[in-house]
Chain A
C-alpha cells in the first residue's frame, strides 16, 4: 500500500482565502518531503520541499509544515488564486536518488 496518504480528497475555497492541504505519512525513516501541483494532463510541478531536520519552510505564498511526532505534513497556500486550482500531491523519500512515494492527492478548487 501507499505510505503517504490520508487527507481530504477535495478542498474548495474562495479566491483570497488561505488554503491548507494535509498529508500523513507512515515511514518514519523518510528524510525528504515534497509537494507537487498537477494540472490536468500535465506532469507534476514542484512547489516546495522540506528535509526531516526542519519543521517549517516558506516559499512564495506557500509554507510547508512538518510534524514528525505525528508524521504529518501540510501545505499552506496564502491568498489562494484561481490559478492555484489543481491536484496537490505530497511525496516522500528516504534517500537521495530513490523513488518518490506519492500520496493520494487533494483537488483544490478556487472560486472567484
Chain B
C-alpha cells in the first residue's frame, strides 16, 4: 500500500529557532499534500494544502510567513516552522493524495514538535 513518511518523528527546538519537517510519499507520486496540526486531545486541523510546483494554500488563521511550505517534487513536501514559540508545540501530520479518481489520502506518522 501507499506509504507516507515524516522526518523527524520528534524534534525539540528552542524558542526563536526554525525547524523543518519533511513529508515524503515513498511509493507513489503525490500531486497534493496536506498539512494538519493536532493539539493534545483535539482533532486534526488543516493548516494548508500544497500542490507540487505551486504556492501552498493556507487556511484562515494560519500564518504563511510562519509556516513555510514547499512542495518542490511529487514525493516531497516540507513544512518549516519559523521563529518557533512554545505555543507552536504540537503534533504535525501530513497526508498525500495521488491525483487519482478516489478520495483516499495517505497519512504520515506525524512529527511531535516541542518548543522550549
Chain A residues at the B interface, C-beta cutoff of 8 Å = 2, 31-32, 34, 36, 41-46, 49, 89, 93, 96-105
Chain B residues at the A interface, C-beta cutoff of 8 Å = 6, 31-32, 34, 36, 42-46, 49, 91, 93, 95, 97, 99-105, 107-110, 112
Look across to chain A and name the residue whose beta carbon is closest to the beta carbon of B31. Answer: A97
B42, B97, B107: the one contacting A97 at CB < 8 Å is: B97
A104 engages B93 (CB within 8 Å): no
Residues from chain B with a CB closer than 8 A to the CB of A102 are 36, 43-45
B103 engages A32 (CB within 8 Å): yes
A89 engages B104 (CB within 8 Å): no
A32, A41, A97, A100: the one contacting B99 at CB < 8 Å is: A97
Q: A41-B91, A43-B110, A49-B103 are in contact. List 17 more A-B contacts (CB 8 A).
A: A31-B103, A32-B103, A44-B44, A44-B93, A46-B107, A93-B103, A96-B100, A97-B31, A97-B32, A97-B97, A97-B99, A98-B49, A99-B49, A102-B36, A102-B44, A102-B45, A104-B42
Residues from chain B with a CB closer than 8 A to the CB of A89 are 43-44
A104 engages B105 (CB within 8 Å): no
In the complex with contacts A41-B110, A44-B93, A100-B95, A49-B44 CB distance below 8 A: no
Taken together as a complex, chains A and B put the C-alpha atoms of A44 and B34 apart, in Å, by: 13
A42, A96, A100, A103: the one contacting B101 at CB < 8 Å is: A96
B100 to A: closest C-beta gap in Å? 8
Residues from chain A with a CB closer than 8 A to the CB of B101 are 96
Residues from chain A with a CB closer than 8 A to the CB of B31 are 97
Q: Please name 29 pairs of A and B residues whose Cβ atoms are closer than 8 Å in the assembled complex, sorted by A.
A: A34-B103, A41-B91, A41-B110, A42-B109, A42-B110, A43-B6, A43-B108, A43-B110, A44-B44, A44-B93, A44-B107, A45-B107, A46-B107, A89-B43, A96-B97, A96-B101, A96-B103, A97-B32, A97-B97, A97-B103, A98-B49, A99-B34, A99-B46, A99-B49, A100-B34, A102-B44, A103-B43, A105-B42, A105-B43
Residues from chain B with a CB closer than 8 A to the CB of A42 are 109-110
Taken together as a complex, chains A and B put the C-alpha atoms of A104 and B99 apart, in Å, by: 27
A49 to B: closest C-beta gap in Å? 7
